[in-house]
């Protein structure tokens, strides 16, 4: 009688930032700033690459009699010995874990050629009543579902879009993200979509799944659409599933994460990323399982507030972005709108935003905290700043001498 193979699950700790380049692997422990490097170790590189595939949700499953388990076992043991990862023997009734990697939440990586240039960060949501733009708003998630119709002149003028395109026509690799509440409420949405589609500039529409109706789908290509989904999913919603969509899943709790993993698996979704929302009920889960949100980080990020770190993790929004609601970006019965789009001259908008980001940079950057930090080369603080060059050289190779090497 043959022995039933044992099932194992392997994952990295959430506080470990993995980097793979060719056959080289760097694992950075952000709690003590130690790093482990595996140079020219192809099996280890393939192991971490598989672990970082979105569909794996940070966990690989092996059977004890499989070729993969034999090929990777030595590296798995080394990583676990370094307290960088965990190998779990599956038991009856145990659920396969799900771990959020930095790549699932699309953490920005900073490179010399990838930093935004002055004037390219355009978020058209500034007005006199709100001191913050939406990228700093604690209610940013709510706006995707709570846009209210307004009767005033507070809708984005299509002519402003045309003027903006003329102003940035020479920009390279420019991307405009269109989002904000139910954009289908905009009375001139068709005209704006036509204007965007006729431009050579890449555009992406971020739309809550309940607003992905047949009429809108006919106007916007799925390849240009990011569908925002929160859990539990409303099965009664008139949502047409298309494989070419990119999905943005909103996760608040362990149950949401497991539901998300199951949804991705059931629908065979290839392109997706995750946003984190703190509703106050599962903060401990977020702090334990989300990269950068942990307590007691040795990295300079530990000096930032939890809300600020949460915003950094979700930093993929509001970079070169239009907010296109019909009026309020955020509407409720208790509070006024946090942002509206008025007919401001394009130069005023750009100057206001650039000044705002300059002030934020000066407030957030602390050389005492960051000058000796390993994490500065991949620090998300740099990725949100509107400056032409990083203050530090982005040379990972030149920093290897300060790391603990492991063969």
Q: Are residues 167 and 253 located together in one domain of the fold?
A: yes
Segment among 185-194, 292-301, 335-344, 372-381 with least mean pLDDT: 335-344
**183 close to 211: Cβ distance less than 8 angstroms:** yes
Q: How far is CA 239 from CA 102, 177, 186, 208, 326, in A?
A: 29, 21, 20, 10, 22
Residues 53 and 159 reside in one and the same domain: no
Tens of pLDDT, residue by residue over 284-306, are 999 888 877 888 877 667 777 88
Place 280 in a pLDDT band, splitting at 50, 70 and 90. Answer: confident
Can you give the pLDDT at residue 4?
A: 81
171 & 50 share domain: no
Asked, for residue 332, whether it belongs to a domain, the answer is yes
Quote the tokens at residue 209.
Answer: 């799944």
Does some domain include residue 401? no
In DSSP notation, 329-384 reads: SS--SSS--S-------HHHHHHHHHHHHHHHHHHH--HHHHTT-GGGGG-HHHHT
Is the pLDDT higher at 113 or at 284? 284
51 and 180 fall within a common domain? no
In-domain check, residue 335: yes
- Is the pTM here over 0.85, yes or no? no
Q: Provide, rounded to the nearest whole percent, the portion of the chain with pLDDT above 70.
A: 57
Question: Residue 87's domain spans which residues?
Answer: 7-99
Looking at residue 147, its pLDDT comes to 42
Of 259-263, 302-306, 324-328, give the range with the top mean pLDDT. Answer: 259-263
- Residue 192 in any domain: the answer is yes
My answer on whether 303 and 371 are in the same domain is: yes
Say if residue 76's pLDDT is above 90: yes
Mean pLDDT, all residues of the chain: 69
We report the CATH number of the domain holding residue 40 as 3.90.930
Q: For residue 84, tell me if it sits in a domain.
A: yes
| Residues 204, 348 share a domain | yes
Based on the fold, state whether residues 65 and 138 are members of the same structural domain: no
Q: Which residue has the tokens 């709510």?
A: 142
| pLDDT of 206 above 70 | yes
Q: Are residues 296 and 364 in the same domain?
A: yes
- pLDDT higher than 50, residue 247: yes
Residues 92 and 208 in one domain: no
Q: Are residues 203 and 284 in the same domain?
A: yes
For CA atoms 212, 55, 252, 385, give the dihedral sign. Answer: negative
Q: What letter would DSSP give residue 39?
A: T
Per the domain annotation, does 127 fall within a domain? no
How many residues are listed for the chain in this entry?
407
On whether residue 303 sits in a domain, the answer given is yes
How many domains does the structure of the chain reveal?
A: 2
Whether 163 and 206 map to the same domain: the answer is yes
Residue 122 in any domain: the answer is no
pLDDT tens digits, 140-188? 444 444 344 444 444 556 776 777 677 666 655 566 777 766 676 677 7
């Amino acid at each position: 009688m043959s022995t039933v193979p044992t099932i194992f699950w392997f994952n990295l700790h959430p506080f470990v930032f993995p980097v793979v380049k060719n056959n080289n692997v760097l694992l950075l422990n952000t709690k003590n700033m130690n790093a482990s490097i595996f140079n020219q170790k192809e099996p280890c590189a393939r192991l971490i690459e598989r672990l970082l595939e979105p569909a794996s949700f940070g966990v690989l499953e092996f059977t004890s009699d499989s070729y993969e388990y034999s090929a990777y076992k030595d590296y798995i043991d080394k990583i676990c010995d370094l307290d960088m990862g965990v190998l779990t023997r599956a038991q009856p009734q145990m659920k396969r874990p799900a771990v959020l990697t930095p790549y699932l939440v699309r953490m920005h990586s900073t490179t010399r050629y990838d930093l935004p240039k002055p004037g390219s960060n355009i978020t058209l949501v500034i007005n006199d009543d709100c001191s913050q733009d939406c990228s700093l708003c604690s209610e940013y998630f709510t706006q995707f579902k709570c846009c209210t119709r307004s009767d005033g002149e507070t809708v984005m003028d299509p002519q402003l879009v045309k003027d903006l395109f003329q102003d940035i026509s020479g920009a390279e690799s420019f991307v405009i993200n269109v989002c904000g509440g139910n954009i289908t409420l905009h009375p001139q949405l068709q005209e704006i979509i036509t204007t965007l589609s006729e431009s050579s500039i890449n555009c992406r529409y971020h739309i809550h799944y309940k607003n992905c109706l047949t009429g809108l789908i006919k106007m916007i290509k799925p390849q240009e659409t990011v569908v925002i989904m929160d859990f539990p999913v409303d099965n009664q919603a008139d949502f047409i599933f298309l494989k070419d969509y990119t999905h943005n899943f909103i996760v608040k709790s362990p149950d949401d994460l497991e539901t998300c993993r199951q949804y991705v698996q059931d629908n065979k979704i290839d392109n997706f990323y995750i946003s984190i929302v703190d509703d106050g009920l599962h903060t401990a889960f977020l702090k334990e399982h989300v990269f950068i949100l942990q307590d007691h980080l040795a990295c300079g990020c530990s000096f930032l507030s939890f809300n600020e770190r949460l915003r950094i993790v979700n930093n993929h929004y509001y970079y070169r972005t239009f907010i296109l609601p019909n009026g309020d970006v955020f509407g409720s019965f208790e509070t006024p709108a946090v942002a509206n789009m008025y007919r401001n001259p394009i130069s005023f908008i750009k100057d206001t935003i650039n000044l705002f980001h300059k002030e934020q940079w000066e407030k957030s950057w602390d050389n005492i905290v960051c000058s000796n930090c390993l994490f500065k080369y991949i620090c998300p603080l740099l990725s949100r700043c509107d400056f032409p060059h990083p203050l530090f050289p982005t040379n990972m190779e030149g920093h290897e001498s300060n790391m603990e090497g492991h063969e």
